Structure 1
C-alpha cells in the first residue's frame, strides 16, 4: 500500500474478521473509463474480490471486499501499478472489516456520473466546499449560525442522522436540487454544513451550492463512516446507525455491525421497531411495502425457492445460483436442439 493510502482500519476491533472492505471514491478525469473497465474487473475477479465499482468520465466510486491481501493488492493496482497511473492518488479511501462476505458478486459499471445529480454546474474538480475533519465536526454543527443538511435519501436518514440535521426527504440524489431551490436561500443561509455516508455526495452537493451563490459551504470529510470510526461514542452527535450499501445493511460506532436488516420484498432498511410492526412478515413484507401486492408475490416466490434450495442442500444466493442458472439454461438449450434435430427441424 502506498504512503498516500495508509490503512488505519487495522486498529479497529473487527480487524481479525476474514473480509476486508474498501470504500473508495475520487472525482478525477477518466475519459478512458470504458477502456479501464475490463482490466479492473479482471483484476478484481482474479483476486476473489466482490462488490461494485462505478467508473465514469468524472471518476471512480464504489465498495468492494475480499481477503486483506486481495484488497491491499487492489490498492496497489488502483494507485500505483495499474492503468490508472497516479490519477486516483489522494482518493477518499476507507477500510473496514466484515465477519461474513458483504457482497455476492463482482460488478464494474460504466455510468455518466459516479454520483448522479444531473447538474453540469456541479463540478467538484473545479470547486468544492470546505472539508471539515471529524474531530472538528461537533464544534461546527453546534453553532447557531450553521444550517446542517443531511444529503442522503429518506430511507438512509430513517436509520440514523446527526442531531439537528435537516432531512430533505429525497428518494434519490437528483431530487436534492429541488430541495435546495425550495428550502435553502443563499441570502439567508450564509453557512451550510452537509454530510453523507462516505463523503462523495457532499462533494457534488457542495459544488452545486457554491454554483447557486451560497457563500460558505462545509462538508464532513470521509462522511459518517469516518466520523463513526474515529469519534469516541461518548462524544458522538450521531444518533442511530449508518446505512451501508451491502449485506451488512448498517454499522454503528467503531463501524461495528448494526442491527438493521433489509426487507426482502422492497429492500427498505428496517429497524427493530419496523420488524415489530404488524405489517412485517419475515422475507415477505414490511411497513414500507404493505400495500404493494406485486412485491409481496415476488418475495413469496423468492422465499419459496429459498426454502426448496435449503431442503435440497443447494445454494440460493450469489455466484453459486448464477452458475446453477447458467448451467440449467445451457442444458435446456441443448435439449431443445436435440428435440429439433430428432424432428428434422432446421
Structure 2
C-alpha cells in the first residue's frame, strides 16, 4: 500500500463535501522518546488511513503532535487503536470547541526533527523538567493572585483575535523567537507565579520547561491549552476568562470561544476576527478580512491581487513561478502593511 496520498486536492475536497456522516475534530500531543520515527509514522498512517482519518500529524524522536478529523462512527475504533500504543494509552484528546467537520480533507503524517520547532540546541535542556499542570478551575483561581503573570505562547496573529484576560503577548511570528523573548521579558520576575498557555498545550508545556531551565521557580502551564480550558469551563459552569476567538491551524482558521470581537479588519478597520488567506495563490497572505471587504476585493488582500485572480489560470501560474512567499503574515508590529492599489501584484 502507498503510504501517502496520491489523489488530487480538488477531488479530495469534493469527496469531503459529499460525505453524509459527521466528523469530529481532535488534537493531541505527547512528548515521548520514539526510537524510529519513520517506522512509527508508517504504522500509524496505515491504521489511520483505514479509519478514514484526515489531518496533519508530526512525528519526531521527541514525540507526536496531531490535529485531525475522524468520522464519528470510527471515533471509538480510533481511540482504541491510539490507546494500544504504550505512551499514548489514556492520552487526553482535545475535542474542538466549534466544529463544522470540515477542518481537514487529507491525511498527512510527516517525520520532523521536532514536533514543535523551538530553536533549542542546549544538550542540557530537559523536557522531563516541566511546569505544573493547571486545569480550568486551578487556572481561574491562580489568575486571581496579583503575583501571577499570564503569558501567551502563541504567535501574534493568534493573540490578536483572542486571548485570556490580562495575558501578556510575546510579539513574534514563531515559537522559536518567543522562547528567549519570554525569558528576557520576565527576567525581573523569577519568583512570581508564571502561567504559560497556548492552543492545545504543546507549546506552553515546552515553554514551561524552558523557563525552569533558565532559573524561574513557580512555572505552570494550562493543561490542554485553550481548547481543553474552554470545554471544561463550559462543562463545569466556570467563568470563562478567554476573550474572543481561538485561532486554529486547519481550514476553519478559528473557533468561537466568546461572542466578543477584539480585533479589526486589516483593510477597513471595522470589528472583525475572521482570518483568510489571500485568494491570489502567488500571495496567500494571512490576514483579517470582513465580509464587506471580502466582497470588495474578491477575498484578496488588495486590488492588485484581485486583478491577478481575474486573469486566466495559466497566466497566474506563470506569474507565480520563482516566487518565494516565505512567511506571509500580516503583522502590524513589524510594520508590514497590506498592499495598496498600484502596488505590483505577486
Q: Distance in 1 between matches of 2:100 and 2:311?
A: 24
Partner of 2:299: 283
* 1:23-62 superposed Cα distances (whole Å, 9 cap, x missing partner): 1100011112111111211222222211111100011101
Moved more, 130-139 or 200-209: 130-139
Structure 2 residue runs of 5 or longer lacking an equivalent are 1-19, 260-271, 314-346
Distance 1:261 1:216, change over 3 A: same
Q: Distance in 1 between matches of 2:230 and 2:287?
A: 19
Partner of 1:56: 60
Does the Cα contact within 8 Å between 2:21 and 2:71 map onto a contact in 1?
Answer: no
Q: Distance in 2 between matches of 1:260 and 1:206?
A: 30
Does the Cα contact within 8 Å between 2:165 and 2:241 map onto a contact in 1?
Answer: yes
Task: Give the 3-state SS of the residue equivalent to 2:88 in structure 1.
Answer: coil
Q: Distance in 2 between matches of 1:303 and 1:75?
A: 47
Which structure features the higher share of helix residues? 1
TM-score using structure 1 length? 0.71
Which has the greater radius of gyration? 1
Distance 1:206 1:251, change over 3 A: same
- Cα shift at 1:142: 2.3
- Cα shift at 1:100: 3.9
Distance 1:182 1:303, change over 3 A: farther
Q: Distance in 2 between matches of 1:114 and 1:42?
A: 20
Distance 1:180 1:280, change over 3 A: farther
Q: 1:55-94, aligned counterparts within 5 Å?
A: 55-80=59-84, 85-94=85-94
Report the aligned-residue RMSD: 3.2
Partner of 2:328: none
TM-score using structure 2 length? 0.71
Is residue 197 of structure 1 aligned with residue 215 of structure 2? no
Q: Distance in 2 between matches of 1:280 and 1:234?
A: 41
Q: Distance in 1 between matches of 2:232 and 2:277?
A: 30
Q: Distance in 2 between matches of 1:280 and 1:196?
A: 34
Q: 1:266-305, aligned counterparts within 5 Å?
A: 266-270=284-288, 272=290, 281-285=297-301, 296=305, 300-301=308-309, 305=313
Q: Distance in 1 between matches of 2:138 and 2:73?
A: 33
1:123 to 123, 126, 129: 126
Partner of 2:242: 238
